[in-house]
């Protein structure tokens, strides 16, 4: 039996476009004499469709697309993910389903059992869990079809009372197929592989696993579809971050050998590729071609500029440096050199006149007060005004350049450096930003070494350094990781006995994170590369009184 893995990049809500992609892949599979072609979870509508699922017209259009696909399955079978009406008097209106079409008929519909409702997932908000388990018989093989989370309920990590494959295994299947919508995070690639390999070993069955690829707003899908033999070895694996199509000539009596490439949990190359794909897809799917960013001569804007240039073409990324009286000449020169290295258009627009005008306007109101962070923020907001004006005039989307460390502690200015249509590195801690800069320079200088080696500074007052307000970034990032990703309170972090983590510093940082939730609530979408990103994956109350 020839089974094709069809790893595609879908656009949420573009049912006609997604249907056309699926039909093109089916035509290709027919030419390759494929018996079954497998697509990913909710392929017909894109994943995750969120509240689009609440509109009956949306489901009806999905049905039309699925029916078009059914009519093109003469001589082939296709497994396609899509929503289906539950028809229940009590319960949710929809199932998250896999449609097994063969010879222009719906041979079977398989509904998802385990509905993740944690982190970025909220499937139980929309879908009814499946309660019946039946394999699919096709061309002499009995196939256990599952959908994404249905294969994750194993061993000590069980979250659900029912394990779908345990139910299906009692029916003596010869092979497993899983339609997935599994997002990327830097600690998820190997975990996903190991969970799928464990399924194959546990049930002594080969597994065909198909994931989607592409960026859908903040969520990034890396692909990595694979065929795993019954011993748990990955025999074939699709490309990461690219559409791919693989045909596996599978014989249930043959043992296939491991032939995949190893990656590590924290692979800066995968993070780089994820961000490039995320920027490229975000712009393409919302209809933008050009970007603009504030290029300060610092590490954050430099990395964002380099990522955007690779994703969109350097000529489509406008860099504007906006010096004030506190900006060093070195920073301006470094920003210009970066633009020259990349080949991006560059402008130098000083903010002195804008800043002075704002100060003059506020003179009467501020009489009798001393300059403080207010005046620093006016500089950041002056820059935000310029960037947004450029965006309005020429149609370039503003890229936000804040990193996760800054966002966590509020070291950013609302309506100033927080402005933008997309946050590119908002899920990378400062030390990760440096790692990424070094990766960008892996073949030679792209980001000027002066930018990488200089001490970080917002340059909003004389001789300002980030270390004036924050602990050194290696220490700050460690505290933030323990608090945000590992969900440890300040007492637990201090009790870890890591000698550089002073109690007063830890308590201060935790308070800063909590106090600045209102800022993050107003931030632009952030490309997600960790398992606990700000936004949909970390939902904290803006108004709360709780001491961690």
Q: Which residues are catalytic?
A: 41, 112, 148
> Residues 6 or more apart from 482 whose CB is under 8 A from it?
488, 492, 493, 496
245, 5 contact by CB (below 8 A): yes
Please tell me the distance from the alpha carbon of residue 517 to that of residue 280, in angstroms, as a whole number: 29
Among residues 29, 32, 38, 36, the alpha carbon closest in space to that of 6 is found at 38
What strands lie across the sheet with 77-85, from one edge to the other? 105-111, 94-102, 77-85, 36-38, 2-7, 244-249
Among residues 173, 152, 120, the alpha carbon closest in space to that of 535 is found at 120
3-state secondary structure of 488: coil
3-state secondary structure of 195: helix
**How does DSSP assign 2-22, residue by residue?**
EEEEEE----TT-HHHHHHHH
Please tell me the distance from the alpha carbon of residue 414 to that of residue 75, in angstroms, as a whole number: 58
405, 480 contact by CB (below 8 A): yes
Interhelix angle 430-440/473-480, nearest 10 degrees: 120
225, 241 contact by CB (below 8 A): no
Among residues 395, 403, 22, the alpha carbon closest in space to that of 245 is found at 22
Among residues 283, 345, 344, 244, the alpha carbon closest in space to that of 39 is found at 244
Query: Residues 473, 505, 404, 520: what is their CA dihedral angle, to the nearest 10 degrees?
Result: -150
Bridge partners (DSSP) of residue 423 are 400, 526
Among residues 304, 305, 301, the alpha carbon closest in space to that of 315 is found at 305
Structure tokens at 233: 């070895």
Please tell me the distance from the alpha carbon of residue 26 to that of residue 66, in angstroms, as a whole number: 13
- The length of the chain in residues reads 548
**Strands 105-111, 94-102: parallel, antiparallel or unpaired by DSSP?**
antiparallel
């Amino acid at each position: 039996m020839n089974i094709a893995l069809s790893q595609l990049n879908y656009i949420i809500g573009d049912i006609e476009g997604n249907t056309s992609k699926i039909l093109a892949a089916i035509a290709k599979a027919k030419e390759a004499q494929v018996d079954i072609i497998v697509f990913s979870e909710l392929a017909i509508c894109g994943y995750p469709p969120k509240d689009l699922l609440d509109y009956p017209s949306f489901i009806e259009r999905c049905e039309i697309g699925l029916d078009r696909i059914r009519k093109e399955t003469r001589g082939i079978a296709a497994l396609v993910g899509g929503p289906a009406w539950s028809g229940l008097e009590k319960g949710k209106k929809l199932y998250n389903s896999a449609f097994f079409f063969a010879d222009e008929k719906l041979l079977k519909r398989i509904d998802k059992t385990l509905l993740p409702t944690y982190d970025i997932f909220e499937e139980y908000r929309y879908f009814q869990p499946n309660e019946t388990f039946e394999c699919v018989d096709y061309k002499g093989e009995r196939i256990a079809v599952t959908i994404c989370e249905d294969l994750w309920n194993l061993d000590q990590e069980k979250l659900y009372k029912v394990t779908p494959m345990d139910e299906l295994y009692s029916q003596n299947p010869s092979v497993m197929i899983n339609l997935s919508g599994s997002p990327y995070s830097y600690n998820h690639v190997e975990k996903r592989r190991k969970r799928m390999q464990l399924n194959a070993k546990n049930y002594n069955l080969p597994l065909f696993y198909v994931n989607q690829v592409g960026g859908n707003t903040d969520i990034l899908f890396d692909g990595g579809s694979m065929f795993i033999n019954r011993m748990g070895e990955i025999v074939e694996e699709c490309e990461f971050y690219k559409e791919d199509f693989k045909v596996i000539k599978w014989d249930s009596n043959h043992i296939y050998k491991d032939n995949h490439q190893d990656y590590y949990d924290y692979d800066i190359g995968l993070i780089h590729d994820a961000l490039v794909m995320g920027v490229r897809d975000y712009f393409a799917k919302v209809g933008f071609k050009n970007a603009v960013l504030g290029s300060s001569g610092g590490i954050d804007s430099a990395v964002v500029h380099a990522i955007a240039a690779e994703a969109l073409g350097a000529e489509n990324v406008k860099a504007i440096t906006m010096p004030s009286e506190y900006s060093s000449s070195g920073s301006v020169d470094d920003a210009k050199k970066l633009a020259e290295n990349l080949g991006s258009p560059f402008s130098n627009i000083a903010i002195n006149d804008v800043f002075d005008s704002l100060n003059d306007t506020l003179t009467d109101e501020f009489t009798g007060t001393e300059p403080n962070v207010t005046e620093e923020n006016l500089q950041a907001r002056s820059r935000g005004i310029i960037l947004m004006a450029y965006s309005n005039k020429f149609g370039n989307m503003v890229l936000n350049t804040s990193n996760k460390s800054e966002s966590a502690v509020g070291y950013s200015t609302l309506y100033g450096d927080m402005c933008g249509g997309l946050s590119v590195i908002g899920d990378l801690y400062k030390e990760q930003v440096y790692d990424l800069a070094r990766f960008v320079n892996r073949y030679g200088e792209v980001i000027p070494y002066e930018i990488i080696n200089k001490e970080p500074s917002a340059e909003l007052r004389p001789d300002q350094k980030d270390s004036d307000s924050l602990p050194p970034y290696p220490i700050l990032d460690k505290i933030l990781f323990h608090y945000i990703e590992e969900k440890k309170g300040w007492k637990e972090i201090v009790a870890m006995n890591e000698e550089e983590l002073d109690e007063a510093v830890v308590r201060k940082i935790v308070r800063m994170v909590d106090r600045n939730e209102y800022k993050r609530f107003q931030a632009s979408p952030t490309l997600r590369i960790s398992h606990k990103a700000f936004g949909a994956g970390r939902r904290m109350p803006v108004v709360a009184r709780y001491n961690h």
